[in-house]
Amino acid sequence: MTQDVKIHTHGRVGHISLNRPKALHALTLDMCHAMSAALADWADDDSVEAVIIDHAEGRGFCAGGDIAFLRNSALNDNGVSGRKFFHDEYQLNHQLFTYKKPVVCFMDGITMGGGVGIALPAKFRVATENTRLAMPETGIGLFPDVGGGWHLSRLGGRLGQFLALTGARLDGAECLWAGLATHYLPSQMAADAKARIIEKPDRIAGVLSEMVGSPPKARIEENADKIAKHFASDDFETILASLEAEDSDWSHKERDTLGTKSPQTCKVALRQLAEGAKMTDFADNMRMEYRIASRVINRPDFAEGVRAVIVDKSNDPKWNPPVPQEVDDALIDSIFAPLPADEEWKPL
């Protein structure tokens, strides 16, 4: 049993607490397996009525997946162990999405990548003043996975496409405004909220709405019209041209931000969200994302992006292809193509 997740029951509530503070609780394969096993046990246990997911200590709820492990796989075993990680992590995402009992996730602190993947399937998603939610994968040549194709494509006003491409960070108030969080609490009220949920697991909605402080104004709301306008297209070059054509500080800043991202990943993300929006079954979305992950982990941009942003911290990735015009449809088609039948992703 891994020490990186604490698993308890308190009365009628199962409690999963991420416990890898030095890595901001980034998920390892063992952590995914421990969480999946606990959820499976509680699903069949009539004495457990609800589940709380939070983190034990430190600044982050969950900073994502184990990126160093994934890069190591890309460089040393042709992505085999990395694909195993994605496969089982996506099983956990799907297990949470389809879970029959209410799950309450406290997104207190950094909630990125893999952290978003375990938070957004929860029925109750509590943000605080510490929440910093982002899908920053375009900056490392990965893509907004763990269900991003489903969750981000269902946000209004092209906000999902904006978040997927730019990796922008939302605070707690912005998460509530966007619908990524269902409730907002000052962090000092979180312990009390958990205690009340443990006391009354059949009244979670009531407990959370009774306690809500009024969140600050969502800053992103001021830019909502600009986001809807400039990120309207599913064509990456069209988005860049739209930002380029407007002479404003905001559009220049976002254009410059996109200029640092992997062109391949940006095109993958736009297609991923367009396809995800049409799907009616979350499992189909995860099957699509596993196909993408299986291909992207071995594409040059991933190892290079992690090198530049996380390993060397030089922030000078040399993308391949280097410009959007050279990322052709045939390359994107190959990344989305079905896998051999025995290699396709399957739910638990």
From 4, 66, 137, 301, the catalytic residue: 137
Q: Is the pLDDT of residue 211 over 90?
A: no
Active site residue 289: no
Residue closest to 124 by CA, chosen among 87, 96, 83: 96
Q: Which long-range contacts (CB under 8 A, 24 or more apart) does 222-230 make?
A: 223/250, 224/157, 224/159, 226/250, 226/251, 227/157, 227/158, 227/159, 227/162, 228/157, 228/158, 230/254
Residue 153 pLDDT level (bands cut at 50, 70, 90)? very high
CATH of domain 5-334: 3.90.226.10
- The confidence score (pLDDT) of residue 56 equals 93
Active site residue 222: no
- The confidence score (pLDDT) of residue 1 equals 62
Tell me the pLDDT of the chain averaged across its residues: 96
Active site residue 344: no
Active site residue 145: yes
Q: Determine the average pLDDT of the residues in 248-262.
A: 97
Of 57 and 153, the one with more pLDDT: 153
From 114, 117, 148, 149, the catalytic residue: 114
Q: Is the pLDDT of residue 323 over 70?
A: yes
Instruction: Please check whether residue 325 is in contact with residue 237, taking contact to mean a CB–CB distance below 8 angstroms.
Output: yes
From 4, 49, 54, 145, the catalytic residue: 145
Instruction: Please check whether residue 303 is in contact with residue 74, taking contact to mean a CB–CB distance below 8 angstroms.
Output: yes
Domain spans of the chain?
A: 5-334
Q: Is the pLDDT of residue 232 over 90?
A: yes
pTM of the model: 0.97
3-state secondary structure of 109: coil
From 14, 60, 64, 65, the catalytic residue: 65
Q: Is the pLDDT of residue 148 over 90?
A: yes
Residue 180 pLDDT level (bands cut at 50, 70, 90)? very high
